[in-house]
Structure 1
Amino acid sequence: MRTSAITTLTSSFSLLQRARPFACGLLLVLGMPTATSCTRSATTPVGGSPRSEATVQPIDIKRLLAVADSAAQAQITAGLTPGMSVGVAQNGQLVLARAYGKANVETGVDVGSITSYKVGSITKQFTAAIVMRLVEAGKMSLTDPITNYLPDYPTQGHHVTIHHLLNHTSGIKAFRVMHEENRQRFRLDLTYPEMIEMFAKQPFEFKPGEKYEYNNFGYYLLGEIISRVTGVPYQDYLERELLRPLGLSNTMYCESSRVIPQRAAGYEYEGKTLINARYLSMHIGPAAGGLSSTVGDMLHWTTLLHGGKVVSPASFRLMTTPTVLANGDTIGYGYGLQLAELGSHEQIFHTGGANGFVSALAHYPKNGLTVVVLANSVKANPATITKALSRTALGIRVRDLPLTPDNIARYAGTYTYKSGAKTRVLKVYEESGKLHAQVTGGPAFRLRSQGSNVFIPSGNDDNQIIFTPSADRAAGLTIREGRWEVTEAKRQE
């Protein structure tokens, strides 16, 4: 079966030093669809309690710092973003925090220790946490139909539950924030009735629970439901009942008219020209992507969430349980959290994007490691830096073990696999004493041996090709992209 992957810190954080820069995947290559500073030793407390099973692994701080500086400066120099903040913590202790470039290009303000960025869809885990707290309080249930709270919502005969909204399986038509037509609409402070009139009457994409499709509108609806259950506007309830009690003083609803200390300006590019990000009303999705925050608060929040300080252990297990569709396929998404792996390390993460900003936040529970990258341009790639820092901190290195001619002969051959309705052909062959592979019509890539019949393709360190051993040659292979994206291929006789 093929499945789809889809704080405040303590005052010591103010020691953050500035770094002044010069002051999809293998399955796409294979033609397959995919789902959806301060440099210190690890002694600075971030807050909260680490999970008991987290194991501290020694981190090469010097190497981690070099990777952070190099990766951030490369993106700034390449004109991908004016500014960026990077943070790493382990088991509640600050390991590294760095600030790069400009928070505001027009005024020449540098990124600092508490520069605030819009964090986009990282907001969803906060929304999911509020829902779970309300469930714990007996004020709602995950199996409740949304019409219990939104009685006039046009479900078109479908049974849509809170659960379906949380894990993006509702089938409700999703809106694309950055679609040009929507960008014009979303300059307005649209009301709930206006949003329903505009989007809710469109046909469902699929039956609830049948498929997964990332859906901002679903989280917009969760925000409305939270408001109706609590009798308080979502953004007010979020700050009063969650953010302030947890000490997240630099995390807040980022309404444009609000005065937010140390707020970074957001940017876009027209060609190679940097421009101010176009206005987008936060009314279109406060519960989907309405927060702004800092590196420090993101690290602190993650420590608290994973340390049992936000929701109960049972609720957190539900938030981090992958979604199983009606056909039995598994999706690497829980409630407001994406679930994957990096190397052999379990990864709980989310990325975010808003007008002028992008972000990435990743946590590795068995190691107690958290990495966050925030940038003030939609062109930046924080996920790439997050991954590089995570690999460095976790000590993940791709090996390239030598192969004998007999080894190469055992793996060489032609393999076929299904990609949707199409049959793909993967040729594995020897060239200059190395093992290579190529899908018909696609680029060639080298296979680097990790031992035990496992290979990692050049150009994508996250994926694996695992050969199935047989007598004198491999009988087939498995393509793995993450924890649940698994595709079987058979040797062609």
Structure 2
Amino acid sequence: MKTKKVPLFSKCMEDLSIMYERTMTRLGALAVTAFFLGAGSCVAGDDVENRLRAVVDAAIRPVMQKYAIPGMAVAVTLHGKQYYFNYGVISMEEGKPKVTEKTIFEIGSISKIFTATLASYAQEIGKLSLSDPASQYLPSLRGSSFDNISLLDLGTYTPGGLPLQFPGDVDSHEKMIGYYKNWQPNYAAGTMRLYSNPSIGLLGLLTAESMGEPFEDLLEKKLFPMLGLKQS
């Protein structure tokens, strides 16, 4: 499949992307350091946790300061043992509690990993095929552009130009379905990749429809337990 490169982020998203890359570069160095610490952890008197903390501090504190991040939590697993390093508070508002390893963070677009995993699982158990037309799983979309757009197109952001976000006036389930029904692609399906929340969001909705259960129930009661996620 030939795709054309297009701008994916606004200036704000570019700044977030740069922050992410720099943080991951720092954490990549942390991972390498953790490896060598683990290799030498059997040496008497070697305080692995304090040495890990020094590396994590060097990676995290500059990022928090530069981007005014109120709080972060970092977990490192080494030889089956977990080390937690917590920074700051959950909000800049006065009196907010400090971050701990139990603090719940909003995961944002990491949720897309779970959406794609659930869709793949649904295919494995015969509830759907990623090559099927998207409209096959939602009667209200039949006769729309989604007759010619596959579930795989939705998951790979190639349905033909769905935007990064819904328009501001799409604020209910009914309006969302109406938006999809009236939406017209700018490109042929599978030819243009544009990062889009409505694209993979629709994949999640249709996957849930194919399995006959609410999306949130499928994640919390089926997918998370299978993945060993007990506090998600």
Give the TM-score normalised by structure 1: 0.35
Q: Per the alignment, do residues 226 and 212 of structure 1 end up closer, same or farther by CA in structure 2, a change over 3 Å counting?
A: same
Aligned residue identity for 1:211: M
Other-structure match for 2:214: 233
Other-structure match for 1:223: 204
- Structure 1 CA distance, aligned partners of 2:74 and 2:146? 47
Q: Per the alignment, do residues 112 and 139 of structure 1 end up closer, same or farther by CA in structure 2, a change over 3 Å counting?
A: same
Aligned residue identity for 2:149: V
Aligned residue identity for 2:96: G
Q: Give matches, 1:44-443, under 5 Å.
A: 58-60=35-37, 65-78=53-66, 80-89=68-77, 93-94=80-81, 96-104=83-91, 105-153=93-141, 155-156=144-145, 159-176=148-165, 182=168, 185=169, 188=171, 190-191=172-173, 193-251=174-232
- SS of structure 2 residue aligned to 1:103: coil
- Between Structure 1 and Structure 2, how many residues are aligned? 195
User: Do 1:130 and 1:242's aligned partners in 2 also have CA atoms closer than 8 Å?
Assistant: yes
Q: Per the alignment, do residues 141 and 199 of structure 1 end up closer, same or farther by CA in structure 2, a change over 3 Å counting?
A: closer
User: Do 1:169 and 1:209's aligned partners in 2 also have CA atoms closer than 8 Å?
Assistant: yes
- Structure 2 CA distance, aligned partners of 1:87 and 1:109? 19
Aligned residue identity for 1:97: Y
User: How far 1:222 moved relative to its partner?
Assistant: 1.6
- Structure 1 CA distance, aligned partners of 2:180 and 2:119? 23
- CA deviation vs aligned residue, 1:54-73 (integer Å, no higher than 9, x gap): xxx93346765434212322
Q: Per the alignment, do residues 111 and 93 of structure 1 end up closer, same or farther by CA in structure 2, a change over 3 Å counting?
A: same
- CA deviation vs aligned residue, 1:33-84 (integer Å, no higher than 9, x gap): xxxxxxxxx9xxxxxxxxxxxxxx9334676543421232223334521001
Aligned residue identity for 2:97: V
- Structure 2 CA distance, aligned partners of 1:79 and 1:137? 44
User: How far 1:245 moved relative to its partner?
Assistant: 4.2
User: How far 1:196 moved relative to its partner?
Assistant: 2.3
- SS of structure 1 residue aligned to 2:209: helix
- Structure 1 CA distance, aligned partners of 2:62 and 2:146? 52
Aligned residue identity for 1:195: M
Aligned residue identity for 2:155: L
- Structure 2 CA distance, aligned partners of 1:146 and 1:135? 14
User: Do 2:89 and 2:96's aligned partners in 1 also have CA atoms closer than 8 Å?
Assistant: yes
User: How far 1:237 moved relative to its partner?
Assistant: 1.5
User: Do 2:3 and 2:193's aligned partners in 1 also have CA atoms closer than 8 Å?
Assistant: no
- SS of structure 2 residue aligned to 1:88: strand
Aligned residue identity for 1:107: G
Give the TM-score normalised by structure 2: 0.70
User: Do 1:158 and 1:207's aligned partners in 2 also have CA atoms closer than 8 Å?
Assistant: no
- Structure 2 CA distance, aligned partners of 1:81 and 1:172? 33
- CA deviation vs aligned residue, 1:216-255 (integer Å, no higher than 9, x gap): 111221222122112211111211111134432211xxxx
Gaps of 5+ in 2: 9-13, 16-30, 38-47
- Structure 1 CA distance, aligned partners of 2:75 and 2:139? 44
- Structure 1 CA distance, aligned partners of 2:88 and 2:71? 4
- Structure 2 CA distance, aligned partners of 1:125 and 1:157? 23
- Structure 2 CA distance, aligned partners of 1:79 and 1:140? 43
- SS of structure 1 residue aligned to 2:231: coil
Aligned residue identity for 1:236: D
Q: Per the alignment, do residues 77 and 106 of structure 1 end up closer, same or farther by CA in structure 2, a change over 3 Å counting?
A: same
Indicate the structure with greater helix content: 2
Other-structure match for 2:20: none
Q: Name the % identity.
A: 28
Aligned-pair Cα RMSD in Å: 3.3
User: Do 1:227 and 1:234's aligned partners in 2 also have CA atoms closer than 8 Å?
Assistant: yes
- CA deviation vs aligned residue, 1:174-232 (integer Å, no higher than 9, x gap): 2426xxx62xx46x4x11x3102235523213111101111111122122212211221
- Structure 1 CA distance, aligned partners of 2:197 and 2:160? 12
Gaps of 5+ in 1: 7-23, 26-41, 43-56, 252-493
User: Do 1:83 and 1:111's aligned partners in 2 also have CA atoms closer than 8 Å?
Assistant: yes
